[in-house]
Amino acid sequence: MPIILSETPKPNVIWGLWQITETEAELRKRTLFSEADEAYLKTLTNPARRLQTLSCRALLQQLLHMYNVPYKGITKDVETGKPYLIDCGWHVSFSHSRAISSAIIHRNAPVGIDIELLQEKLQRIQTKFLSAEEMAWADNKVDRLGMLWSAKEAIYKQLSSKGVTLKGILMQPLEQVGSNLKMKGFAKLGDTVLEIDTNSLKIRNHVLSYCC
């Protein structure tokens, strides 16, 4: 299925969601793949992971097409695992959860995006990624736990720096309108504390967060 949702939160940046309904053969017919893409696919044996990878490429290509930017494939930084578009100055981040893929691109600055399934498991593992203050705000509610987790993951992807951990990123909820939540994240890098704005929104039984 084509993009089911997209948004341009500011100039020169766009994110989108893709509902995976296609087979691998169908995705291959509608998507371009570079040698780097094919090499990465060969390392994946799980059918679901292959579909997620293919759908992310299909989504990225449609987002880039909106800005008339050609797609030449994706490569990753050896040390951090951060994805980069080949021969392209645009910044990229992507994520997937079960049958939904997400991606964000920015012409000038690093970005991060994450999508998480809202599930009771978050209640059991919250002490691993939340501070006492964050847990108090979440109040053991799965929606809030998911937004905190997802926002931290988005910041982690945007920074892609050694030494950064999810628990080391502190989130301050700012404003919630309906199921959309704006937060400010504080991430310590050496002696510097970076402030990063995030947006989180509930989509069906998932939560999507991004920072740009």
Contact yes or no for 18/102 (Cβ under 8 A): yes
The more confident residue out of 2 and 39 is 39
- Based on the domain organization, do 106 and 136 belong to the same domain? no
Residue 212 lies in a domain: no
Cβ-contact 97, 89 below 8 angstroms: no
pLDDT-derived band at 51, boundaries 50, 70, 90: very high
Task: Grade residue 78 by pLDDT with cuts at 50, 70 and 90.
Answer: confident
Between vectors from CA 56 to CA 117 and to CA 119, what angle results, nearest 5°? 5
Q: Do 106 and 152 belong together in one domain?
A: no
Of 51, 83, 114, the domain-final residue: 114
| Model pLDDT, residue 81 | 83
The token pair at 113 is 């995006």
Question: Which domain covers residue 139, as residue numbers?
Answer: 119-203
